[in-house]
Structure 1
Amino acid sequence: MPIPQLSLQEIYGDISEQQAKRYATLKESFTQKYGRAPDFFSRAPGRVNIIGEHIDYHGYGVLPMSINQDIVCAVAVNHDKPVLRLANTQSQYKDFICTVDEVAIKGIDWHEYFLCGWKGVVENASLSSPCGMDVMLDGCVPKSSGLSSSSALVCCAAMCTARANQKEYEQVVIADLCAKCEKYIGTMGGGMDQSICFLGEVGKAKQIEFNPLRATTCHLPESISFVISNSLTEINKAAPCSQFNVRVVEGRAAAQILAKNHGLEWRSFKKLKQVQDALGKSFDEMMELVKAELEPGLYTRQQLQEKLEVTDEELLSVMLSPQTQTVQQFNVHNRAMHVFSEAARVHKTSATADASDGEKELGRLMTESHVSCSQLYECSSPELDELTAICRDAGALGSRLTGAGWGGCAVSVVPTEQLASFLDKVRENFYSKDPERMARVETALFATKPGSGAAYLCL
């Protein structure tokens, strides 16, 4: 199915009137900036991952939903001038301009995420003479919060580039393309964020599987609400040698050691799911293998070489990435235990979501997920651990970090009838005790529901 063109009502439902004012303001700002009205609008939503953290890039399915918070781009096509002019409605983000043959991704400024999406489409479609664009971006997905603001920007940029150059993509194709685009900026992620961005539906969560990409609707209990709470601490997951990129390599190391132990052609294994599929074992059986065959604690780089019987140069080529080539220690046991147990939790959630006590089971699994993220994958933070505990004490059935972690947001599942009191308690016990947090509480704490996927706007 191609990317749809939708109305404000179809995308935003009961908040479409509020969004109409936003788009009108964006159109006016664009016209003042560039001296003409935009030709079209593209929007790409952020997402919240209900369960299934840090397992998509190890090959496993996840259970996210898209949200109403989104990135919107107003675009006018420059047919006669091969120049990209990028602007942002938020003044802290500087304008950017370059010709289409000067595009270079050098850092992690906001415009370079746009260039990732642009470059992906230009290369995929073999555009020898891509047209220029005037673009103004307006975003309401909190930056570095775990709600996928960067991926939403990459997806929105790819949509803008495709439409400006009269290229049409199927949703699953451009989702896969955008997942690969982020590697231009140094992020070694999976495809969850981009997939739910394009495949999201109003009122529905999606269980997303990979290789091939496919999405199955997950029916969640009607009696619950999801609440996002931002810890207001941030991580840059694209930074060289970031913990995010190290986790990718640690999972790869676990996969290759397990594959070698079982006589497989281990050099071809990059993901833990590939090993499980090759061995034909259950999640419980894979966790038993991890306990038996991977030592707890840290492996040194030399120990990995000895395990795999390779030189350091070979280790660089078969396991490490440009972003992680200086890493010296790897915790392969705990990372693999998290991945297999978390993948099992995704399957359990999908199987029990519409059961009579599905909301309680969902909450229990979400809390288990956070404990695993904190203790085994070590991607939580003191603020997130504090925040999720406060959320559970305030009445959440379950609460966990969502997104990359090391800061950012938590997601909690709350009985809808208790939503108001829950929000009051979290506001009082986490935000009001810190003036800086309290000053941002209106955008940091909110209930949400599954929203529409990416679309072009007809206004």
Structure 2
Amino acid sequence: MAAELPIPIFTSLDKAFPDIETAAAQGARYDSVVKEYEKRFGHKPTFIARAPGRVNLIGEHIDYVLFGCFPAAIERDILIACGPSQPGSEATAQDGATRGGVKAENLNPKYQPQSFVPMLKSASAPSAAEEADAASTVHAEASWHLDIDKRELRWESYVKAGYYGVLNRFFASNTEHPVPVDMLVTGSVPSGSGLSSSAAMVVSSTLAFLAVNNKLEGITKGQLVEMAMENEKRVGVNSGGLDQAASVICTPHSAIFVDFFPRLSAEPIPLPTPRTVPRAVFVCANSLVVSDKVVSAKIHYNLRVVETLVGARVLALRLGQQLGPSERPRLREVFSRWLGSPELESSPEKVKAELLRFLPEIEKLRPSPQGRKEGELGVTMKEMVEWSGLSEEQFHQVYLSWVDVEAEYFQLYKRARHVITEAIRVLEFREVCLRAQAAEGDLPEDTLRELGALMDASHESCSKLCESSCSEVDQLAELARASGAYGCRITGAGWGGCTVSLVAEDQVESFIAKIKAGYAPYKELEGEKLHEVIFATKPSSGAFVLKLDA
């Protein structure tokens, strides 16, 4: 399984990028980073940690309820050059040497240099009863703390988030100390674009701290995904793992079908475009509406998480499933219990068939129109608590004590319907790709039309049921279809960010020209500035570490 493979560690870029042209182009960039690092810190880095952004081809807002998605890593990425700090440096001052102080700088001049030292908090000692128990193996472990202000987005918060998991996984016993670190960050993934710059930052910083502390051995790709998921929650985002899995596990020329139930798994799926007539590529277009999951989490991303969780509980009760007062099942778990037989989930094909059978059950969440405004499908907080079968205090503890959300009406029905229909579309997308892979000879253009139709339906659901789009993104998607795309959809958390379009390769230049002419924010952009906001991309390799000569 792809998730069980080790983290790649390379000693040269030609091994990291087998394509000669790519390796040559990246070589100049990596050399520049190394030289700038040495200029700033007075010594050479020992590692460069690399994590790509991702484009989610289909499967939005369903990973955190454990349904599978279909992302691909992109060529744009985050690089972190790192190495142990030298004696007398800022990272080693004021106990930083014994507590893993960090000096972090960013090549982007708008991000100011930062220095911080994690705090070690000792756990309470074992009780007398525990000490008296000869069989007891209780050990007092320490925990680490780094200040991260979730109310204000700061670039170094993602660096700290990556550090957290390494500290508490490897240095909680208080018998070993992390080394002080100098690091230099650079990136080509646009922030707030929906291409997951935040996950790439957390993955690369997690990798950097693992590498510089000599903790990479034995870490699998799946374990890195799980660490990065937990780490990103430190900045206030309840991520489901899609972004991290794509950034870590993907391989060149393929997307991955990543599933989260009953455990994380990833299946590389070659995309059909190389043998399709005509050939096609994916084009990312940034709406230039900045979408920050942290800043707007309580009314957008985290609210969707809570709505789907509560919807799952209510649906479970209405399906006759027994739940304890502290249980918080997710929709995939409710679906699995409804099946009643693990054998029915033995293959994605069977899961799709059962999801189609399960879809009508979602109507049990549709509220009665009586006493409501016409067309209103949401419920109030009071109704939601009543439907959950919990007391107000229990409800708050289970669903609200760990997250801030804000809404007048909570859309349990619409969110659940989006989840199930989107999960079906992901499995259909996978089927088309596998069918194309198995076919002999050139593939007909109808293959691209099938994929495009699924992308269009996904965008419609994201816009109308999940309500994670915005007018600018909807305009871009409509313009993309009118400009010749086989299909187009929002990608990423939403409320801004990027679209991804499936476009014939020989039409990319004319497609981009039409988007530029039709989308007002692009009209004054030329050359590199235009390329920064709209570009074709190929599936890229996942995260790796480049080990440099001492």
**Range class of TM-score, shorter chain:** over 0.9
Deviation at 1:218, TM superposition (A): 1.3
Please state whether the residue corresponding to 2:267 is helix, strand or coil.
Answer: strand
TM-score by length of 1: 0.95
1:9-48 equivalent positions in 2, closer than 5 A: 9-12=14-17, 13=19, 14-48=21-55
Partner of 2:360: 288
How many Å apart are 1:458 and its aligned residue? 4.2
Superposed displacement of residue 263, structure 1: 2.5
Cα distance in structure 2, aligned partners of 1:456 and 1:293? 47
Is residue 303–residue 405 contact of structure 2 (8 Å, CA) maintained in 1? no
Classify 1:141/1:324 alpha carbon distance in 2 versus 1 (closer, same or farther; 3 Å). Answer: same
Aligned to 1:272: 331
Give the C-alpha shift of residue 87 in structure 1: 0.3
Of residues 202, 208, 213, the one that matches 1:154 is 202
Deviations 1:249-299 (A, max 9, x none): 000011000111122233524311111111018222332111244326111
- Distance in 1, matches of 2:208 and 2:485, equals 39
Name the SS for the 1:118 alignment partner: helix
Unpaired stretches in structure 1, ≥5 consecutive residues: none
Q: Deviations over 1:373-424 (max 9, x none)?
A: 0011111011100101111111100000000110000000112232222122
The normalised TM-score by structure 2 is 0.80
Using the TM superposition, name which of 91-100 and 421-430 deviates more.
Answer: 421-430
* Equivalent residue, structure 2, for 1:201: 251
For 1:126, the equivalent position in structure 2 comes to 171
Other-structure match for 1:310: 390
What corresponds to 2:117 in structure 1?
99
Unaligned runs of at least 5 residues, structure 2:
120-144, 340-352, 368-375, 437-442
| Pairing partner for 1:254 from 311, 326, 333 | 311
Specify the alignment match of 1:5 in structure 2: 9
* Larger deviation, residues 41-50 vs 420-429: 420-429
Of residues 308, 318, 331, the one that matches 2:411 is 331
Deviates more, 1:40-49 or 1:20-29: 20-29
Distance of aligned partners of 1:10 and 1:414 in 2 relative to their CA distance in 1, 3 Å threshold: farther
Deviation larger for 263-272 or 360-369: 263-272
State the Cα distance separating 1:433 from its structure 2 match: 5.8
1:16-49 CA-partner distances (Å, limit 9, x unpaired): 2222221122112111111111111110000000
Give percent identity, aligned residues only: 32
Is the contact made by 1:228 and 1:411 (CA closer than 8 Å) also made in structure 2?
A: yes
- Counterparts of 1:190 and 1:291 in 2: how far apart (Å)? 25
CA RMSD between the two structures:
1.9
**Equivalent residue, structure 1, for 2:458:** 369
Amino acid at match of 1:322: W
Q: Give the total of aligned pairs.
A: 459
Distance 1:181 1:227, change over 3 A: same
SS of 1:15's equivalent in the other structure is helix
Q: Does residue 217 in structure 1 map to residue 273 in structure 2?
A: no
Partner letter of residue 258 of structure 1?
L
Encode CA deviations 1:310-362: one digit per residue, 9 max, x unaligned: 22211111222533355453101110110000000000001112435322111
1:79 CA drift (Å) = 7.5
Structure 1 moving runs of 4+ over 6 Å: 436-439
Residue 136, structure 1, aligned to residue 184, structure 2 = yes
Q: Are residues 286 and 437 of structure 1, via their aligned partners in 2, closer, same or farther at CA, if it must alter by over 3 Å?
A: farther
Q: SS of 2:181's equivalent?
A: strand
Q: Distance in 1 between matches of 2:405 and 2:391?
A: 14
Letter aligned with residue 130 of structure 1: P
Asked whether the 8 Å contact 2:221–2:248 carries over to 1, the reply is: yes
Query: Aligned in 2, Cα 1:335/1:133: closer, same or farther, shift over 3 Å?
Result: same
Deviates more, 1:400-409 or 1:103-112: 103-112
8 Å CA contact 1:230, 1:409 repeated in 2: yes
Shift of 1:440: 3.5
Q: Return the alpha-carbon distance in structure 1 between the equivalents of residues 329 and 74 of structure 2.
A: 31
Residue in structure 1 matched with residue 531 of structure 2 by the alignment: 442
Of 230, 240, 244, the match for 1:190: 240
